[in-house]
């Protein structure tokens, strides 16, 4: 059995290089494909490196098994799937060869010339370089059409971002398929045009350079600079700590010098970095738990340095034209564990960002002021969208992409979705719309909990619910058929969005396709769930789902009529075909019940367990009073009752419990 994605058929995958990142890449593949009997080979000329890689992988798998992350069957399959060898002949028969060797053009060239002889014409060649362009790496390959750079980030088995860099001769279809493949296996890929260092490393290494320049100028100590950079840019770790963790001094030293030649003169390896690289020493960063106090005046100087420098670096990448604002904003935040740059500029004010960069460039005279920032100021801010819009024949496919929060909804995302739907509705070439989510885990994980936790009064609750409803109503009012494609689970607002669509399809076999978890958090749905779900699947079925907050599988969702069809194979392609049949009248959407009957007037006795009796009382009022009303009046009732929840003790208890203890911990409701 092999893993198949479109034309990519993987039975054997080889990783060349048993150093720091190669084993981690192989571990991720082994984790994803453990049920597919894919064979993995790690090749290195150093037996010592192979032994170290084997011990590293086995240790990580063992820890995963001990923690429960890997079941014993999975751990055993992963261990058995990997072969470690210095014999390059073991690569024969590989469908994919991923090179993760030393960042040296001559070495990479030798490797790929050898590999091309050992493989057939269908093999895909990938290089995990952090800087080098595909034109340099694959310069002597016979078939450059199947050669790409795939830049992983530390730690490769956990960090989801992968930059995919095609060469000038790479087959565009292979690039598109590879981007889809990485999404299908849980990564967050972005396409970047060929450029030394690609899109994200010039930002990371530029920040490291800036930190060292601040040190050399006497703006602060290593610990102070690390602390202020981390606080200002909301980094997981400061730049000096990051260099220590990744062993990044040598490659950053080399990368900065090369970028001076390929980019602008500002990039260069500072003298202190050169000395640290030569000595092999580590930066004297703060120990775990060590508190670093920084003088306010010094902190302000460093704050302006890092905001100005960060914004300038990110805008510079946009000026290069190698990626777009949406991709860079998302990928930088996730890969570097840092504030999303363009979102941060918008939140702080585009005029303030412009001023900070201008002041910073006046000090750093070799850094040209970014033209894209001038345009953003003229536009009143950066235009950022979390909705990917593609067209498949006459069907508009809208993908909600917020992988960091599993595509959770907030008002900004809903406004963007509303705008995209209106564009599609007014486009004469579009006959139908498919709405799906990015990745394989979640369609939409719900509404942003922090947004809900910030609500303080019934009026604020009503306004929030009413606004969500009005935005989602755009889908229901659309004159063209809309089909929700469940690529993963839909919680809360995600399911409420789905049930406004004309119809719903789901990837076949999903263990959880939908859930309205609000009762578990101490409130009721506020975006139409208490009104549309009963009208779609029946009052008592919906009431039990809403009152118990239990999840339902794809099979059950299909049985009760929430899902119209489960899709085998490619979900989006299946959803597009379903939409075309809907347009032609070959399939019919489920009838939407307009109101209830006398039998629907009273709540049934069900066991709600530990859940709040007070919230259950409000939920029942919403369901059973609402079903007697026209939908518009019923939605108004839901918004008012959602606002009432804010007056209860249990909504605060439920939200606080979720934020402090996570979704699995049961809240201790007072039933008041």
Burial class (CB in 10 A: 0-12, 13-18, 19+), 590: middle
Question: 15 pairs with which residues across the strands?
Answer: 42, 98
- Tell me the two tokens of residue 335: 């890969």
| Calpha distance 3→10 (Å, rounded) | 5
| Calpha distance 40→83 (Å, rounded) | 6
The answer to whether 518 is a known catalytic residue is yes
Residues 6 or more apart whose Cβ sits within 8 Å of residue 592: 535, 536
Q: Which residue out of 99, 163, 183, 518 is catalytically annotated? A: 518
**Do 381 and 346 contact (CB within 8 A), yes or no?**
yes
Residue 389: count of CB within 10 angstroms of its CB: 13
Give the three-class secondary structure for 398. strand
- Tell me the two tokens of residue 382: 């950066």
**Do 344 and 395 contact (CB within 8 A), yes or no?**
no
| Calpha distance 334→338 (Å, rounded) | 7
The answer to whether 359 is a known catalytic residue is no
Phi-psi region of 304 (alpha: psi -120 to 50; beta: other; left: phi over 0): alpha
- Closest by CA to 273, choosing from 286, 256, 292, is 256
Q: Which residue out of 224, 416, 431, 496 is catalytically annotated? A: 496
- Closest by CA to 490, choosing from 428, 448, 443, is 443
Task: Locate all alpha helices (DSSP H) within 9-137, ordered by sequence.
Answer: 22-32, 47-67, 72-81, 105-118, 134-137
Q: Which residues are catalytic?
A: 496, 518
């Amino acid at each position: 059995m092999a893993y198949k994605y479109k034309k990519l058929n993987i039975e054997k995958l080889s990783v060349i290089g048993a150093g720091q990142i190669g084993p981690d890449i192989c571990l991720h593949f082994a984790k994803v494909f453990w049920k597919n009997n894919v064979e993995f080979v790690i090749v290195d000329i150093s037996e010592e490196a192979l032994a170290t890689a084997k011990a590293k992988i086995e240790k990580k798998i063992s820890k995963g098994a001990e923690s429960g992350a890997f079941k014993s069957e999975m751990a055993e399959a992963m261990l058995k799937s990997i072969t470690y060898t210095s014999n390059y002949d073991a690569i024969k028969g590989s469908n994919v060869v991923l090179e993760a060797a030393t960042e040296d053009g001559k070495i990479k060239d030798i490797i790929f010339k050898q590999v091309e002889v050992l493989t057939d014409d269908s093999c895909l060649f990938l290089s995990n370089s952090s800087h080098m362009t595909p034109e340099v790496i694959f310069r002597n390959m016979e078939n450059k059409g199947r050669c790409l750079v795939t830049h992983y980030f530390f730690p490769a088995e956990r960090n989801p971002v992968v930059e995919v860099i095609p060469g000038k001769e790479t087959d565009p279809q292979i690039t598109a398929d590879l981007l889809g493949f990485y999404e299908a296996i849980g990564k967050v890929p972005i396409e970047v045009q060929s450029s030394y260092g690609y899109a994200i490393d010039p930002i990371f290494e530029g920040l490291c350079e800036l930190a060292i320049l601040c040190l050399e100028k006497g703006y602060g100590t290593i610990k102070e600079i690390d602390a202020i950079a981390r606080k200002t840019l909301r980094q997981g770790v400061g730049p000096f700590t990051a260099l220590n963790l990744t062993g990044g001094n040598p490659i950053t030293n080399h990368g900065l010098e090369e970028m001076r030649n390929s980019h602008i003169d500002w990039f260069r390896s500072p003298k202190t970095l050169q000395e640290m690289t030569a000595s092999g020493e580590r930066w004297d960063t703060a120990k775990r738990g060590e508190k670093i106090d920084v003088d306010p005046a010094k902190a302000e100087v460093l704050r302006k340095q890092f905001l100005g420098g960060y914004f300038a670096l990110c805008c510079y990448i946009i000026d290069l034209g190698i990626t777009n604002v949406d991709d860079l904003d998302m990928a930088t935040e996730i890969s570097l564990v840092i504030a999303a740059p363009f979102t941060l500029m918008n939140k702080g004010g585009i005029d303030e960002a412009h001023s900070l960069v201008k002041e910073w460039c006046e000090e750093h005279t070799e850094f040209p002021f970014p033209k894209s920032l001038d345009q953003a100021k003229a536009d009143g801010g950066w235009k950022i969208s979390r909705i990917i819009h593609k067209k498949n024949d006459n069907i508009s496919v809208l993908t909600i992409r917020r992988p960091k929060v599993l595509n959770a909804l907030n008002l900004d995302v809903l406004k963007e979705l509303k705008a995209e739907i209106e564009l599609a509705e007014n486009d004469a070439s579009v006959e139908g719309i498919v709405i799906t989510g990015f990745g394989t885990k979640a369609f939409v994980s719900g509404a942003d909990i922090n947004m809900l936790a910030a609500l303080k009064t019934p009026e604020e609750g009503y306004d929030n619910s009413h606004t969500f409803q009005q935005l989602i109503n755009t889908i229901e009012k659309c004159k063209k058929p809309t089909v929700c494609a469940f690529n993963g689970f839909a919680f809360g607002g995600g399911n409420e969005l789905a049930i406004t669509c004309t119809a719903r399809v789901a990837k076949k076999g999903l263990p959880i396709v939908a859930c309205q978890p609000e009762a578990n958090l101490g409130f009721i749905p506020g975006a139409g769930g208490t009104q549309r779900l009963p009208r779609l699947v029946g009052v008592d079925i919906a009431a039990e789902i809403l009152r118990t907050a239990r999840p339902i599988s794809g099979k059950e969702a299909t049985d009760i009529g929430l899902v119209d069809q489960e899709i085998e194979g490619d979900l989006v392609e299946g959803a597009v075909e379903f939409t075309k049949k809907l347009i032609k009248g070959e399939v019919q959407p489920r009838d939407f019940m307009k109101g209830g009957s006398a039998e629907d007037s009273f709540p049934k006795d069900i066991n709600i367990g530990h859940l709040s009796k007070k919230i259950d009382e409000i939920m029942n009022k919403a369901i059973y009073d609402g079903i007697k009303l026209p939908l518009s009046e019923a939605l108004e009732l839901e918004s008012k009752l959602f606002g009432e929840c804010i007056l209860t003790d249990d909504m605060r208890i439920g939200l606080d419990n979720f934020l402090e203890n996570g979704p699995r911990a049961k809240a201790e409701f007072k039933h008041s």
